[in-house]
């Protein structure tokens, strides 16, 4: 994920200073509490001196003293009816000061130490107990707020964020947002309430940036949609960014994706014009990463292009700010999977190639190579041999000759560090044990990653696609799968995560007409491996048979005849075409279509397949939700049109 560039609270609650973040987030209100001031008291400096080798006001913390600090807080709050003592408040204040330390790469050990002491659980437990006590004294209220701020700051780092995500802190923050909903549009003079909203959104945002945590957000997220309409610009930005990170390109999670996409582009434009490269406290890199999340959806890709996002991202890729370059290149790669954007990038290919050859950052170079390979698909320059429609495929099932020339089975999976990755390596091992030649990137990597991937797809006779949430959002995986599809490889999906059909996206479209093997039940792993081998054998025989039949009839059949120029069709001609294709269920949508409209629809189906599929599949024919098979038949009919 790279640097997190978080929304971290930097200043302690106080009555005299504005609240900002270390990341210079704009803030126009200040808390009303009086327990602490921005300037550390003499007593606090003396206490902090035991946690620091240098000037305590600079936050240079001695790691050896973190453990006694956390241990003492745990001791004082071990009972459910613990007292909120002055000592506890002072210790939490000290921990807050520690959390304000700039945890750059040189201070990674600090957050590791804090996290290893189970600090997330200890702090969230304090929040949970105090929140359940009803009306609190001023000291208890301050203790609660200081604890929240500690969590806010510490959740900046991914180790702590993941630990916090496994507690009830998300639920607590969502409860806070619902309780303070009236402050979205009413007088915003209640600074205490505004701060509750602020740290609640901040904690949720920091956690939302982590991978594979969407399932933890099973709460009703509609409250975040409401906060996007707030008069407070800071709350709007945080709510939008949270929803963006949790959506993963799913349209239903954001009410107005187009408006949100345009909003992020405008913020990014603002950030790039500022000296500190920030807008409303968000760095340009954070905004690019958010835009990349939205761009997982093809509709949003079009919006990015329409709003000048391609030129803006190219400018950032070619800049000399490495962090921005990396994020912008990754975002451009995500966008490049749309055919119309590939055409936009074609004139920029030489600049991308030059940068790819000269840059020293491996992540940046990989993204640039990915963009270029994806563009190559549209201009026909992709390396490798595609299996032509009539090519024969010989599958060396149970061939023990490791050096056979018949190709291999490629295992394509996402590096998610979880079950999906483990399952992929186990599947590879199982197939090898059966005498099959298998390619998997854990033991076959040589030279450039993308060159090796392209060669692996090219040399394969079967492509085992290990579907998961991470797979569907990975540019690497999408490039592998689309390359296999374009080369007419035998694609066998295996489910190692969420269902292939759980989301309307490129992965579902690619796998819609394919039988898959479900590996989600670990207890049936060996049984499923046997099923996978049987699937490979069966499909390879079908391909041999179909290609043989096609070869026999190829010379006796004439090419299809065009039924006049489609552009000249009247609405009656379109209606007749639908009936000839047995697609009467779509007559309502095509009621006013003439030939020109049909041509435009064919272009949409080619350039934005996810939008096309979602529009037709999610509409109903007046009786029940439309069947997938009907939409697939419509796609086939449109693709076969001779324009």
* Helical pair 309-317 and 284-294, crossing angle rounded to 10 deg: 130
Same domain, 439 and 514: yes
Over residues 442-461, the mean pLDDT reads: 77
Same domain, 550 and 412: yes
Residue 152: partners with Cβ closer than 8 Å, 6 or more residues away = 8, 9, 199, 202, 203, 206
Over residues 544-550, the mean pLDDT reads: 47
Q: How many angstroms from the chain centroid is the CA of residue 312?
A: 21
- Report yes or no on 618 lying in a domain: yes
Question: How confident is the model over 351-375, as pLDDT tens digits?
Answer: 999 999 999 999 999 999 999 999 9
Which residue in this structure is represented by tokens 């359940």? 132
Same domain, 337 and 423: no
Question: How confident is the model over 98-130, as pLDDT tens digits?
Answer: 888 765 544 678 888 999 999 999 999 999 999
Same domain, 430 and 508: yes
Taking residue 135's Cβ as centre, other Cβ atoms within 10 Å add up to: 6
pLDDT of 566 > 60? The answer is: yes
CATH number at residue 573: 1.10.150
Residue 586: per-residue pLDDT:
85
- Which region among 17-21, 131-135, 199-203, 588-592 has the lowest average model confidence (pLDDT)? 17-21
Q: Which of 533, 554, 575 is the last residue of a domain?
A: 554
**Among residues 440, 416, 413, which one has the least CA distance to residue 429?**
440
| Cβ atoms of residues 567 and 596 within 8 Å | yes
Over residues 300-313, the mean pLDDT reads: 96
CA distance 222 to 409: 45
Same domain, 543 and 570: no
Same domain, 458 and 584: no
- Report yes or no on 503 lying in a domain: yes
pLDDT of 333 > 50? The answer is: yes
CA distance 494 to 498: 11
CATH number at residue 458: 3.40.50.10140
Record the tokens describing residue 318, joined without a space.
Answer: 């070619």
- Which region among 34-48, 329-343, 522-536 has the lowest average model confidence (pLDDT)? 34-48
- Report yes or no on 273 lying in a domain: yes
Same domain, 571 and 547: no
Residue 186: per-residue pLDDT:
57
- Best-predicted range by mean pLDDT (61-70, 217-226, 263-272): 263-272
Q: Which of 554, 574, 594 is the last residue of a domain?
A: 554
CA distance 253 to 272: 28
Same domain, 466 and 516: yes
Residue 268 backbone dihedrals phi, psi, to 5 degrees: -65, -40
Query: 476: buried, middle or exposed (CB in 10 Å: 19+, 13-18, 0-12)?
Result: buried
- Best-predicted range by mean pLDDT (9-13, 58-62, 598-602): 598-602
- Report yes or no on 544 lying in a domain: yes
- Report yes or no on 145 lying in a domain: no
* H or E segment and range at residue 494: strand 490-495
- Report yes or no on 236 lying in a domain: no
* H or E segment and range at residue 129: helix 119-131
Record the tokens describing residue 348, joined without a space.
Answer: 């920029």
Question: How confident is the model over 147-193, as pLDDT tens digits?
Answer: 999 999 999 888 999 999 999 999 999 999 998 877 776 556 678 88
Residue 124: partners with Cβ closer than 8 Å, 6 or more residues away = 151, 164, 167, 168, 169, 172
Count of residues in the chain: 643
The pTM of this model reads: 0.73
H helices of 248-348, in order, are: 257-272, 284-294, 298-306, 309-317, 322-335, 339-345
CATH number at residue 302: 1.25.10.10
Q: Which of 364, 381, 398 is the last residue of a domain?
A: 381
Same domain, 531 and 487: yes
Q: What is the largest CA-CA distance in the chain?
A: 96
Dihedral sign for Cα 269, 275, 277, 278, please. negative
CA distance 517 to 534: 11
Record the tokens describing residue 640, joined without a space.
Answer: 């076969």
- Report yes or no on 602 lying in a domain: yes
- Report yes or no on 361 lying in a domain: yes
CB burial of 500-535 (b: ≥16 within 10 Å; e: otherwise) equals beebbbbbbbbbbeeebbebbeeeeeeebbebbbeb
The residue range of the domain holding 273 is: 257-381
Q: How many angstroms from the chain centroid is the CA of residue 285?
A: 15
CA distance 204 to 152: 9
CA distance 121 to 167: 7
- Which region among 59-68, 328-337, 474-483, 607-616 has the lowest average model confidence (pLDDT)? 607-616
Question: How confident is the model over 487-507, as pLDDT tens digits?
Answer: 889 999 999 987 666 666 888
Residue 161: partners with Cβ closer than 8 Å, 6 or more residues away = 155, 206, 207, 209, 210
Residue 249: partners with Cβ closer than 8 Å, 6 or more residues away = 293, 294, 295, 296, 297, 300, 473, 503, 505
CB burial of 244-280 (b: ≥16 within 10 Å; e: otherwise) equals bbbbbbbbebbeebeebbbbbbebbbbbbeeeebbbb
- How many CA atoms lie within 13 Å of 211's alpha carbon, on the beta-carbon side? 15
Question: How confident is the model over 612-638, as pLDDT tens digits?
Answer: 776 777 665 455 556 777 787 888 788
| Cβ atoms of residues 191 and 149 within 8 Å | no
Same domain, 546 and 443: yes
Split into its structural domains, the chain has a count of 3
Of the pLDDT bands very low, low, confident and very high (cuts 50, 70, 90), residue 422 is very high
Of the pLDDT bands very low, low, confident and very high (cuts 50, 70, 90), residue 584 is confident
**Among residues 90, 74, 159, 89, which one has the least CA distance to residue 122?**
74
Same domain, 369 and 414: no
* H or E segment and range at residue 518: strand 517-518
Partnered with residue 439 across adjacent β-strands are 410
Residue 643: per-residue pLDDT:
53
Same domain, 546 and 580: no
């Amino acid at each position: 994920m790279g640097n997190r560039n978080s929304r971290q609270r930097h200043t302690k609650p106080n009555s005299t200073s504005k609240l900002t973040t270390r990341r210079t987030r704009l803030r126009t209100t200040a808390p009303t509490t009086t327990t602490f001031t921005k300037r550390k008291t003499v007593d606090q400096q003396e206490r902090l001196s035991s946690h620091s080798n240098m000037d305590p006001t600079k936050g240079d913390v001695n790691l050896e003293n973190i453990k006694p600090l956390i241990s003492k807080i745990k001791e004082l709050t071990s009972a459910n009816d613990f007292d909120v003592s002055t000592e506890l408040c002072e210790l939490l204040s000290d921990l807050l000061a520690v959390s304000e330390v700039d945890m750059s790469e040189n201070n990674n050990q600090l957050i590791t130490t804090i996290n290893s002491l189970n600090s997330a659980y200890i702090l969230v437990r304090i929040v949970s107990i105090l929140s359940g006590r009803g009306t609190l004294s001023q000291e208890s209220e301050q203790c609660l707020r200081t604890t929240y701020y500690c969590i806010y700051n510490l959740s900046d780092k991914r180790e702590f964020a993941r630990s916090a995500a496994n507690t009830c802190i998300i639920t607590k923050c969502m409860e806070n947002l619902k309780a303070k909903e009236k402050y979205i549009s009413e007088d915003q003079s209640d600074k205490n309430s505004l701060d509750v909203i602020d740290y609640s959104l901040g904690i949720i945002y920091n956690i939302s940036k982590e991978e594979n945590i969407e399932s933890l957000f099973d709460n009703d997220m509609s409250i975040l949609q409401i906060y996007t309409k707030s008069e407070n610009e800071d709350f709007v930005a945080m709510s939008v960014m949270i929803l963006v990170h949790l959506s993963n390109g799913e349209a239903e999670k954001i009410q107005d994706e187009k408006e949100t996409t345009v909003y992020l582009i405008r913020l990014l434009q603002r950030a790039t014009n500022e000296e500190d490269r920030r807008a409303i406290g968000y760095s340009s890199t954070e905004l690019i990463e958010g835009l990349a999340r939205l761009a997982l959806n093809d509709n949003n890709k079009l919006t990015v292009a329409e709003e000048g996002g391609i030129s803006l991202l190219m400018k950032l890729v070619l800049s000399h700010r490495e962090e921005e370059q990396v994020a912008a290149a990754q975002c451009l790669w995500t966008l490049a999977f749309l055919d119309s954007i590939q055409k936009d990038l074609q004139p920029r290919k030489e600049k991308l190639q030059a940068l790819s050859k000269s840059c020293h950052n491996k992540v940046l170079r990989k993204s640039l190579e990915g963009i270029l390979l994806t563009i190559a698909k549209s201009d026909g320059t992709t390396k490798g041999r595609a299996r032509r429609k009539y090519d024969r495929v010989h599958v060396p099932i149970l061939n023990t000759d490791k050096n056979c020339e018949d190709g291999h089975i490629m295992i394509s999976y996402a590096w998610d560090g979880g079950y999906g990755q483990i399952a992929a390596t186990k599947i590879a091992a199982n197939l090898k044990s059966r005498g099959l030649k298998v390619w998997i990137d854990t033991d076959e990597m040589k030279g450039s990653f993308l060159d090796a991937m392209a060669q692996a797809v090219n040399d394969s006779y079967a492509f085992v696609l290990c579907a998961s949430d991470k797979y569907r959002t990975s540019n690497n995986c999408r490039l592998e799968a689309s390359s296999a599809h374009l080369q007419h490889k035998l694609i066998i999906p295996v489910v190692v995560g969420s269902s292939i059909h759980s989301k309307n996206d490129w992965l579902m479209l690619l796998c819609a007409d394919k039988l898959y093997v479900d590996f989600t039940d670990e207890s049936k792993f060996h049984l499923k491996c046997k099923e996978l081998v049987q699937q490979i054998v069966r499909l390879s025989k079908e391909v041999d048979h179909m290609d043989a039949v096609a070869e026999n009839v190829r010379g006796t059949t004439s090419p299809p005849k065009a039924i006049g120029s489609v552009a000249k069709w009247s609405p009656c001609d379109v209606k007749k075409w639908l009936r000839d294709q047995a697609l009467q269920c779509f007559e309502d949508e095509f009621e006013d279509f003439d030939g020109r409209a049909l041509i435009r629809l064919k272009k949409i189906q080619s350039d934005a397949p996810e939008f096309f599929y979602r529009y037709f599949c999610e509409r109903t024919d007046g009786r029940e939700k439309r069947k997938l098979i009907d939409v697939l038949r419509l796609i086939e009919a449109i693709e076969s049109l001779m324009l």
